[in-house]
Amino acid sequence: MKNLKKRAAAPVILLSLGLWSLSVDGETVSETITETTKTETYWEEEFSGTREETEKWKAGKEKEKEEKERAQEGNKQNEQQETIVITETVTEEPQTELIIEEEAVLEEQEREEEEVFRQSVAEPADVSAAETEETADETLPEIRIENVAPFTAARVSVKPKIIISDDAINESAVKIMLKRNEEEKNNVPADLKRTGTGLIYEMEAVEEDGKYLLQVEAVDEAGNRSVLKRIFTVNKSGTRFIYDEKRYVEEEEVYSPRIRVENCDVVRILSCMVNGKEAKYSWEGDEIVIESKCIGTGRSVITIETKDSAGNLSSMKPWEIIRIDRREINGIL
């Protein structure tokens, strides 16, 4: 067993000696132990036991010493890290203050530049904002066309009346264009009357049959522009029927009569008859094509009646076709 006897001693800087003894076969074996002491207090320990127990005690003291040194080293590292963090924090504050100061200077410069620009483009001092708003003209000229409605078909002559309303209309900039089918006429003749609110144009009568486009353009002194278009037809004649007026057809010939329909308006077939009976037909473009089987042996009379969107009723002159033997045709011709 290990017996320990401790006593206090003064701080030691030099080497201190300790003894251990071991009894083997009645003989005592002694060895001198040298140990360096770094602590302020030295505890002298005497042993009376086996060599194995003494070695364990020495190993424990060495382990305790190593743990103490590691602990001291760890404390030093922590102190160094804290010192670094504190140093970095202190050095960042002046940089932040510098950035804020630079931003304030830039903002001040931008405000000064903006004020200089604003003054350079400002209105003259004697013109107020209210006066500027009152003189601004953004109202478009108003255009009306009377005596002809949009997309209408007339069976009589048409005399359009154009009314342009604007206090500051530019008379020289008014344009009146009239297009018939694909033929365009600019600045058509019109009787001009000036009123307190604008202009009145009374056009000459449109007499000729056809499909028309009337376009009026008006511009005021402020540059505001308006355009009005009107499409209409003048249709006094109704439908024209055009065909080859073929009279004789050979007995074996397959023949389908074709009649071209001319009208500036939309045409509706009221009747298509052969010898007083309804005949089958089809539209190919502007032509009516009657089925060949409707033209039988002997005499066939074709009649057609139509009505257009202007209200005109039109009847085709009867077309007579005779189917006979070729020899008879040669004898007739």
In a domain, 118, yes or no: no
Buried b (16+ CB within 10 A) or exposed e, 283-317: eeeeebebeeebbeeeebebbbebbbbbebebebe
222 with 266, same domain: the answer is no
12 with 74, same domain: the answer is yes
Supply the CATH number for residue 184's domain: 2.60.40.3780
Alpha helices in the chain (DSSP H): 51-120, 129-135, 326-332
Unique residue bearing structure tokens 């760890």: 74
In a domain, 111, yes or no: no
User: pTM score > 0.75 for this model?
Assistant: no
324 with 292, same domain: the answer is yes
53, 60 contact by CB (below 8 A):
no
In a domain, 133, yes or no: no
In a domain, 247, yes or no: yes
CB atoms within 10 A of CB 252: 8
Closest Cα partner for 321 from 229, 255, 222? 255
Residue type (1 letter), 231 = I
Give the end of a domain, one of 66, 83, 100. 83
Which pLDDT value is given to residue 183? 80
Which pLDDT value is given to residue 99? 56
155 with 217, same domain: the answer is yes
Residues with Cβ within 8 Å of 234's Cβ and at least 6 positions away in sequence, in order, are 154, 156, 157, 158, 206, 207, 208, 209, 210, 212, 264
221, 140 contact by CB (below 8 A):
no
201 with 280, same domain: the answer is no
Which pLDDT value is given to residue 88? 45
User: Rounded distance, CA 80 to CA 87, Å?
Assistant: 11
- Which pLDDT tens digits describe the chain residue by residue (333 residues)? 444 444 444 444 343 344 444 444 444 444 444 444 443 333 434 445 567 777 777 788 888 888 888 887 777 766 665 544 444 444 444 454 555 566 676 777 777 777 765 665 555 545 454 454 556 778 899 999 999 999 999 999 999 999 999 988 888 889 999 999 878 777 777 888 888 888 999 999 999 999 999 999 999 999 999 999 999 999 999 999 999 988 999 888 899 999 999 999 999 999 999 999 999 999 999 999 999 999 988 999 999 999 999 999 999 999 999 988 766 655 555
Supply the CATH number for residue 304's domain: 2.60.40.1220
In a domain, 121, yes or no: no
214 with 254, same domain: the answer is no
Range of the domain at 262: 240-332
Which pLDDT value is given to residue 55? 78
Give the end of a domain, one of 234, 264, 286. 234
Which pLDDT value is given to residue 276? 94
Give the end of a domain, one of 83, 102, 130. 83
In a domain, 221, yes or no: yes
Which pLDDT value is given to residue 330? 57
Which pLDDT value is given to residue 97? 52
In a domain, 123, yes or no: no
323 with 255, same domain: the answer is yes
User: Rounded distance, CA 160 to CA 229, Å?
Assistant: 12
Name the DSSP class of 265.
S
SS3 label, residue 59: helix
79 with 149, same domain: the answer is no
Q: How many domains is the chain partitioned into structurally?
A: 3
193 with 251, same domain: the answer is no
245 with 169, same domain: the answer is no
In a domain, 106, yes or no: no
Which pLDDT value is given to residue 43? 40
Which pLDDT value is given to residue 332? 58
207 with 262, same domain: the answer is no
Which pLDDT value is given to residue 285? 94
Which pLDDT value is given to residue 93? 46
223 with 254, same domain: the answer is no
The separation between CA 285 and the C-alpha centre of its own chain, rounded to angstroms, equals 42
